[in-house]
Homo-oligomer: A and B are copies of this chain.
Amino acid sequence: MKTYLDCLPCFMNQIVRVGRLLKISETDCCAMLREFADDFAEIKLDDPPPKTSIKLYDMISRYSGVEDPFKEIKDESTKKALALYPELKQRVEEADSPLSLAAKFAVAGNVIDFGVASQFDLSAELDRVVDDGAFGKWLESDFFLALGGADWLLYLGDNTGETVMDRLFIETIVKETATPVTYIVREKPIINDAILADAVAAGIDQCAKIISSGCRAPGTVLDLCSPEFIDLFHNAPLIVSKGQGNFETLSEVKAPIFFFLKAKCQVVAEHLEVNLGDLVLTT
C-alpha cells in the first residue's frame, strides 16, 4: 500500500500523541515536529507508510533517551493479555470450531496498537468476536483450506500483547493440524511491536520457532529484511500476516498471504473496502 495524502498529517499527529504518551516534554515534541517537517519533502508517496515510520520512531526513541521507550507499556500489555489467556484458551477448547474462535481472538488482539491510538479496550474487542457485524471481510474457509494443504506456516507477528492471542491461535493450529509454525518478530524495538523478548514473554517459544525479519520498520519491508527471512518468506507455502503495518508493506507482494487485521485507520479501511474498526481476514 502506498502512502496516501492523509498519511502525511497523520505522521505529525503521531509525533504529538506518542510524544505525550511517552511523557516527552511539549518543547521536545515541538522540536520533533520541526525536525520531521524539515525532512518532509523526502517522504516518498510510493513507499508504504511503515517505511517512513522507521525515521519517525527512531527520532522519538532519540528524544525519549531510551532504545525501547515502549518497554513498560509492552510488558503491561503482555501481562494483561496473559491474565485473559486461561479463559480464552478454555473458550477455544470448548468451541464447536476451536480454530475459528482462536483465529477471531487473534485478530481481536490486533486492537493493541499504540501507533494508531493511545487507548483501547482489549476485553471489549475480544467480546466482539461473537458478533458477525464486527467482521468486514472474513475469508475463514479459504484460510482453513490453505492451512489443510500447507506443510508449515510462516506467521508474521505485530503488536506485543496481541502475541498472547497469537500464541493461542498457533497452539490451536498445532493441536488441530500438527502444522509447524515459524513466528516472525521485528529486528529492533519500534512502537509496541513485538521483538524476540516480547514473543518469548507471551510464551510463543513454547509452540513455534521465533525468528526476526531483520526489518526495523513497524511492518515487513522486504528490501530491508534479512536474507534468512527472505528465504523463508519466498518458500513459505502459507503466510499469516498480522496487523496494519504488515498489510501496508505486503499488500502488493505476490505470495500466499492471508492478512488478519483490525482496520484501525480510515485510509486502510477504505483501501480494504471495509468500515473503520472492522475485523478482517483477507488475501
Contact in complex: B13, A9 (CB < 8 Å): yes
Contact in complex: A5, B34 (CB < 8 Å): no
Contact in complex: B16, A13 (CB < 8 Å): no
Query: Could you tell me the distance between the alpha carbons of A9 and B12 in the complex, rounded to whole angstroms?
Result: 5
Q: How many copies does the complex hold?
A: 2
Q: Does A190 contact B (CB under 8 A)?
A: no
Interface residues on A, range: 10 to 19
A42's nearest neighbour on chain B, judged by CB, is: B34
A residues engaging B (CB < 8 A)?
Answer: 5-6, 8-9, 12-13, 15-16, 26, 29-30, 33-34, 37-38, 40-41, 45
Contact in complex: B12, A29 (CB < 8 Å): no
Contact in complex: B8, A12 (CB < 8 Å): yes
Query: Could you tell me the distance between the alpha carbons of A25 and B205 in the complex, rounded to whole angstroms?
Result: 50
A40 → B minimal CB distance (Å) = 3
Contact in complex: A33, B16 (CB < 8 Å): no
23 contacts between A and B (CB under 8 A): A5-B16, A5-B26, A5-B29, A5-B33, A6-B16, A8-B12, A8-B16, A8-B30, A8-B33, A9-B9, A9-B15, A9-B16, A9-B33, A12-B12, A13-B13, A30-B45, A34-B41, A37-B37, A37-B38, A37-B40, A37-B41, A38-B40, A40-B40
Query: Could you tell me the distance between the alpha carbons of A40 and B34 in the complex, rounded to whole angstroms?
Result: 6
